[in-house]
Structure 1
Amino acid sequence: MTAAGITISDLTFGYGGPPVLDRVSLQVRPGGTTAVLGPSGSGKTTLLRALAGFVRPTQGRIEIGGRILTDAQLLVAPERRGIGYVRQDGALFPHLDVTGNILFGLPRAERRRTSQVGALLELVGLSPSLARRRPDELSGGQQQRVALARALAREPAVVLLDEPFSSLDTALRAATREATLNALAERGATTVLVTHDQVEALSFADQVAVMFDGRFAQIGSPSEVYDAPATPQVGAFLGDTMLLPGLAYGRVADCDLGKLDLAEPATGSVLVMIRPEQVVLEAPSGLTARVVSVAYHGPDAMVRLDLTGTTTRLVARVPGRDAPHPGDLVGVAVPSQVRSFPQPRTA
C-alpha cells in the first residue's frame, strides 16, 4: 500500500438551508494523521462522508494521491476510492463471526483467504483466537478493533474514522486508540479522524483542524492549536481558559494579575488568555486569592479561587498532592507567557 495525500479545495455542501460545509479546504500529507475537531453539528461527519463519496458537494474538489475523486463534473463511487471507513458503532454484521466480518469487504475470490485474518487481528492488537467469535461475544473495544481490521483488509491508502472511540469507557478508549494508531502507522495509511474530544484529537493526530459552523477556524499541529489558538473560541474549545481584560503595550499586558509577559506583541485593549496550568499557587505574598473549591482528580486537582480585591474568579490546575483546602489564602502568579486577543468593541 502506498500512502496518498488528501487535498480538499473550497468544498461546499448543504441540505437546502445554510451550508453545512462552507468553502472548506484542507491538506493531509501522505501517511499523516489529521483530526477534525469541533462541536456537534459543526460539519465534521459531513466532511468525512464527502471524502468517502457518500454525498456530493455542491462545489469544490477532492483529490487523493493526485487523483480527482470529486469536482463539478465527477463523483467517483465510494467502492472505487481506495478508502477504508470506520463508523462510530463499528457496524459489524451480527450474523457473521470475526473472520466473516473482516473478509466481507473483499472481492468474493479473496474471501477464502482466511489465513490473513490472524495477521490482521494481531495488527490491531487482538488475539487470532477471537477469529470465530461473533460480535456479541466481544467487548466494545474489541468490536472497534475488528472494524478497523475490516477497513485495513482491503489495504486502503486512506482510512476515515468517524468518532470510533466515543462509546467506550475512559480506560478502554485509551487502549483502543493506541492500538488503532499503531496499526495505522504500521500500514502507513493516511488517516482522518473526526472527533469532538479534545484530548483524543491532540494525542492522536499530527495535525488538528478545528471546525465551527462548517468552516475551519484553525489548522495546525496539536501544540500550535493548543498553545497559540487563533481565536478565543478555539482556545476555549481545546481546554479550560480564563479571559481577563487588560491593556497591552508591546510584550506586556497589564490586568488583574499584574503585568504578564505576552507570547506575541500587542497594543491597546486586549483579552488575556490564561490556562489553569499556567496559574501557580505559592505562599500568600503579593497577589493573593481565597480558595473557593477544590475538585480532586487524583494526579491533579482543579482549584477555584477568588482574586483578592477584585471580582475575578481564577482556576488553577495543580498536582493533586499539593492541592490547598477551601478557605485557604494563597499567593498566585502566572510566570509563563500568555496569549492575548483584541478586545471586541462594544456598540
Structure 2
Amino acid sequence: MKSAGITISGLTVGYGGPPVLDQVSLQVRPGGTTAVLGPSGSGKTTLLRALAGFVRPARGRIEVDGKVLTGGQVLVAPERRGIGYVRQDGALFPHLDVTGNILFGLPRVERRRADQVGPLLELVGLSPSLARRRPDELSGGQQQRVALARALAREPAVVLLDEPFSSLDTALRAATREATLNALTARGATTVLVTHDQAEALSFADQVAVILDGRLAQIGSPAEVYDAPATPEVGRVLGDTMLLAGRADSRVVNCVLGTLDLAEPATGEVLVMIRPEQLVLGNPSGPAARVMSVAYHGPEAMVRLGLPDATTRLVARVPGHHAPQPGDTVHLTVPAQVRSFPKKHPHTSPDS
C-alpha cells in the first residue's frame, strides 16, 4: 500500500449558519497518524466528513497525495477518494457474517475472494475462526476490529477514524486501540483519528491537532501540545490545569506557591499554568496546604488542597499508595518548569 500525504488549506464548512470550521489548514505526512482533538461541537467530526467527501466545504482545498479532492469546482465522490472510514458504531451489516461485512465494499468480482478475510482478521488481531460469525455474536471490540478490517480490505492510502473506541469499556478500548494502531502501521496507512479523549490522542498519534470553536488552535507532537500549549484553553483540552496569578521576571515567576522556574521567559503580570502531576507533596520547605479530599483511583489519587488564604484551591495527582488523608497538612513544591500566559485571561478554578 502506498502512503499518501494530506494537505488541507483554508477549509471553511457550514450548514447554513455560522461556520462550523473556519479557515482550517492542516498537513498530515504520508504514513503519519494525526489525532484531531477538541470538545463536543468544536468541528472535528465535520473535518473528517469533509475529508471523506460527505460534505461540501464553502471554501478551501483538500489534497491527498497531490491530487485535489475538494477545491473550486472539484468535488471527488466519496467512493472515488481511496479513503477508508471507520465510524464510532462500526456500522456493520447485521444480516451479513464477518466475511460478508469485510468483503462488502470491494468490487463485485473481488467479493468471492474469501481467502483474503483470514489474513485481514489476523492483521487486526482477530482469529480467522470468527469469519462466519454475525455481528451480534461479537463483542464491541471485535466489531470495531471487523469494521477496521473492512476499511483496510480496499487498501486505502488514508484511513479516517471517527471516535471508534468511545463506546468500549476502558480495558477493551486500550486493547482495541493498540490492535488498530498496529494494523494501520503494518499497512502504512495515513491515519486521521477524531477524538475528545486527550489520553487517546496523546498515546495514539504522532501529531495532535487541537480544534476549538471551529478553528485550529494548535498542532504539534503530543509532547509539544501537552507541555507547551499555545493558550490556557488548549492546555485545558489536553488535561487538567490550574491557573494562578503571578509576577514574572525573566525565567522565574512568583505566585502563592513561591518562586517557580519558567519554561520560557516572561515579564510582568501573568497567569501560571500548573498541571496536577507537577505538584509534589512532602517537601517541608514549600508552602503548607490542607488536604480537603482524596479521590482514590488505584495507581493514582487526586488530592484536593486548600491554601491558608482560604481562596486558592489546587489539585495534585500522586501515586495511590502515597495519598494523604483528608485533614492532613502537606507542603507543596513545583520542581518542574511551568508555563505562563499574559494576564488577559480570567482566573479559573482547577479543571478536574
Corresponding letter in the other structure for 1:113 = R
State the Cα distance separating 1:285 from its structure 2 match. Answer: 4.4
The reply to whether residue 162 of structure 1 matches residue 162 of structure 2 is: yes
Residue matched to 1:113: 113
Aligned residue number for residue 178 of structure 1: 178
Structure 1 counterpart of 2:210, one-letter code: V
Segment drifting more, 274-283 vs 112-121: 274-283
Q: Is the 8 A contact 1:246 1:271 kept in 2?
A: yes
What one-letter code is carried by the residue in structure 1 that aligns with 2:29?
A: R
Q: Is residue 256–residue 310 contact of structure 1 (8 Å, CA) maintained in 2?
A: no
Matches of 2:190 and 2:133 in 1, distance apart? Answer: 30
Q: Which runs of 5+ in 2 are unaligned?
A: 347-352
User: For residues 145 and 286 of structure 1, what CA distance do their matches in structure 2 show?
Assistant: 50
Q: Distance in 1 between matches of 2:173 and 2:286?
A: 44
Q: Does 1:145 align with 2:172?
A: no
Structure 1 counterpart SS, 2:27:
strand
Distance 2:15 2:306 in 1: 47
TM, length-normalised to structure 2: 0.97
- For 1:50 and 1:345, the matched residues in 2 are separated by 33
Q: Structure 2 counterpart of 1:154, which letter?
A: R
**CA distance in structure 2 between the aligned counterparts of 1:142 and 1:213, rounded to whole angstroms:** 34
2:257·2:286 contact (CA, 8 Å) conserved in 1?
no
Conserved in 1, the CA contact under 8 Å of 2:140 and 2:168? yes
**What's 2:349 paired with?**
none
Q: Percent identity?
A: 83
Q: Is the 8 A contact 2:8 2:26 kept in 1?
A: yes
- Where does residue 326 of structure 1 map in the other structure? 326
Residue 5 of structure 1 contacts residue 65 of structure 1 at CA under 8 Å; is this kept in 2?
Answer: yes
Q: SS of the residue aligned with 1:30?
A: coil
CA deviation map 1:162-197 (0-9, x unaligned): 000000000000000000000000000000000111
Deviation at 1:286, TM superposition (A): 4.2
Q: Which residue of 2 aligns with 1:17?
A: 17
Work out the number of aligned pairs and report it.
346
Q: Which residue of 1 aligns with 2:211?
A: 211
Q: Is the 8 A contact 2:6 2:29 kept in 1?
A: yes
Map residues 37-48 of structure 1 onto 2, 5 A cutoff. 37-48=37-48
Query: What amino acid does structure 1 have at the position aligned with 2:82?
Result: G
Residues 287, 308 of structure 1: 8 Å contact kept: no
Rate the CA distance shift 1:75–1:294 in 2: closer, same or farther, 3 A.
same
Partner of 1:240: 240
Matched, 1:270 2:270: yes
In 1: Cα distance, 2:115 partner to 2:285 partner: 70
Q: Secondary structure at the match of 1:112?
A: coil
Deviations 1:64-107 (A, max 9, x none): 00011110110001111000000000000000000000000000
Residue 259 of structure 1 aligns with which residue? 259
Distance 1:59 1:226 in 2: 31
Q: Contact 2:211–2:217 (CA<8 Å) still a contact in 1?
A: yes
**Alpha-carbon distance in 1 for matches of 2:188, 2:140:** 25
Partner of 2:200: 200
Aligned counterpart, 1:52: 52
Cα deviation 1:132-158 (Å, max 9, x = unaligned): 000000000000000000000000000
What is the Cα deviation at residue 309 of structure 1?
A: 3.7
**Which residue in 2 is equivalent to 1:85?**
85
Q: Match of 2:96? A: 96
Question: 1: distance between equivalents of 2:218 and 2:309?
Answer: 37
Unpaired runs of at least 5, structure 1: none
Q: Structure 1 249/283 Cα, relative in aligned 2: closer, same or farther at 3 Å?
A: closer
TM-aligned CA deviation for residue 311 of structure 1: 2.0
Aligned residues of 1:34 and 1:193 also touching (Cα < 8 A): yes
State TM-score, norm by structure 1.
0.98
Q: Whole-Å Cα distance in 1 between the matches of residues 32 and 38 of structure 2?
A: 19
Report SS of the residue matched to 2:111: helix
Contact 1:157 1:190 in 2 (8 A): yes
| Counterpart in the other structure of 2:129 | 129
8 Å Cα contact 2:11-2:21 kept in structure 1: yes
Alignment partners' CA distance in 2, 1:283 and 1:35: 38
Counterpart CA distance in 2 for 1:214 and 1:152 is 30
Cα shift at 1:237: 1.3
- Offset of 1:283 from its aligned partner? 4.8
Q: Deviation digits for residues 240-289 of structure 1, max 9, x if unmatched?
A: 11100000110011110111100000011100000010000015444111
Instruction: Work out the CA distance in 1 between the residues paired with 2:306 and 2:333.
Output: 13
